[in-house]
Amino acid sequence: MATNPSLSELLKNYRELIGRVDELCAAIGEEFPEEIVCRAGCAGCCRHLTLLPVEAIALAVAMYELPPTQADMIRDRARKSAPDGPCPLLMDERCLLYAARPLICRTHGLPLLTRLDDVPQVDFCPENFRGVTNLPGSAVIDLERLNTALVAVDALFRREYFPEGRAGRDRYTIAEALLLQL
């Protein structure tokens, strides 16, 4: 094992998970192109959320890859954002860091299998799948399974990223992630 792995190496598992989720979301979109109305400019679900450390650091890395003027503008928006308001990355109904958006943003609006009092239910944006009464299992994302994978990836990341004896925070708001100093 390398003694001082780079952030790129440490984020490899997270990026692989994102890749698998993107493939799943794309397959659902291809199977139901008429039923999914989520498009650029559709931003009703773009709220100021909290992220696990691996997601926060990945977002911070994306910020460092931007031209300085754009990164400064986003940081200014992050400083002014409210925790209960719209996402600080939302500008003109579009995400300013769409390619680096967190996992939850990638699955918003799609059919998610959740459990309420141990009763399975499928939830999705009310604008999507209008009139659809039955969905195949291949079109539904098991949120518990996805979150389990994300938590495992985060645990591996934290073990390598944070110095021994210092676990870091459990959650970061998107604004806090955008303001992280790496």
Q: Per residue in 34-76, pLDDT tens? A: 888 877 777 778 888 999 999 999 999 999 999 999 999 999 9
Write down the H helix ranges in the chain. 7-10, 12-31, 53-64, 68-80, 103-107, 143-161, 174-178
Query: In this predicted structure, what is the pLDDT of residue 47?
Result: 86
Does residue 32 fall inside a structural domain?
A: yes
Does residue 136 fall inside a structural domain?
A: no
Does residue 2 fall inside a structural domain?
A: no
Does residue 123 fall inside a structural domain?
A: no
**pTM for this one?**
0.90
Tell me the residue range of the domain where 27 lies. 7-108+146-178
Does residue 97 fall inside a structural domain?
A: yes
Does residue 140 fall inside a structural domain?
A: no
* Total number of domains constituting the chain: 1
pLDDT digits (tens, 9 = 90+) for 108-140: 899 999 998 989 999 988 888 888 888 888 899
Q: How many CB atoms lie within 10 A of CB 12?
A: 15
